[in-house]
Amino acid sequence: MKKPLTERHIEKAVKEVALKLGYLTYKFTSASNRGVPDRLFINPNGYMFFIEFKTREGKVTALQSKVFEDLGKYKVDVFVMNDIEQATRLLKILLPIKIHVENDLSFPNVMIR
- Return the amino acid letter for 72: G
**Per-residue pLDDT reduced to its tens digit, 14-38:** 999 999 999 999 997 888 888 999 9
Domains and CATH numbers, the chain: 7-94 (3.40.1350.10)
- Cα 22 to the center of its chain, rounded Å: 14
Give one word for 63, left, alpha or beta, with left for phi > 0 and alpha for psi -120 to 50. Answer: alpha
**Per-residue pLDDT reduced to its tens digit, 28-80:** 788 888 899 999 999 999 999 999 999 999 999 999 999 999 999 999 999 99
